[in-house]
Chain A
Amino acid sequence: LLLQESGPGLVKPSETLSLTCSVSGGSISSNSYYWGWIRQPPGKGLEWIGSIYYSGNTYYNPSLKSRVTISVDTSKNQFSLKLNSVTAADTAVYYCARHVGVATIDYWGQGTLVTVSS
């Protein structure tokens, strides 16, 4: 299974960060898995952003919930992240990942650095 993040590496403050995760080697529609986004600011720890089930049920970090939307496109085997009203504090490496049920994350993307700057 491969997960690959794609999207702009530079976003202006107050704008919307948009990333897509393309899944290959397996179906995003499997009923055993959740698909999530995790970020890591430079030099800091991991922060769960949110996750989605293939049916469309979403789960968000309460601290980001007002700004985050995660969606899934089963026809393209992709899921996406939108984070609006970004600031410099949103600068981070963004990873997409697969959860096995509500337990472990067993596959991670390679991560993509998104910098928020004018």
Chain B
Amino acid sequence: NFMLTQPHSVSESPGKTVTISCTRSSGSIADNYVQWYQQRPGSSPTTVIYEDNQRPSGVPDRFSGSIDSSSNSASLTISGLKTEDEADYYCQSYGSSIWVFGGGTKLTVL
């Protein structure tokens, strides 16, 4: 089994760019797609990135995803931060017949 490790929290100012990392503990990050979900308080999660770097319709292009095999990690980058981006973000991937979520990162936009 593998784990996905995210920073507990990040903060940045409106208009700036923030990157949230997600490191896979074993197996290659490139072996299976990584997804990113946004969860606002009291709401169900929604997808902001799927299949490493694809944006669902309706998600602004300020959101982008990438993977880096050298660090065995995935990243979610949000540019032009808005106060509405303040939320919890979770990475998720799959391997050996199990789905795994990262621990989540609280993004504060202040």
B contact residues vs A (CB 8 Å cutoff):
1, 32-33, 35, 37, 39, 44-47, 50-51, 56, 88, 90, 92, 94, 97-104
Q: B99 contacts A104, CB within 8 Å?
A: no
Q: B104 contacts A48, CB within 8 Å?
A: no
Q: A105 contacts B92, CB within 8 Å?
A: yes
Interface of B, helix, strand, loop or mixed by DSSP: strand
A contact residues vs B (CB 8 Å cutoff):
36, 38, 45-48, 51, 59, 61-62, 95, 99-100, 102-106, 108-111
CB distance from A96 to the nearest CB of B (A): 10
With A36-B99, A59-B98 as contacts: A104 and B50 at CB distance below 8 Å: yes
Q: B98 contacts A45, CB within 8 Å?
A: no
Q: B94 contacts A103, CB within 8 Å?
A: yes
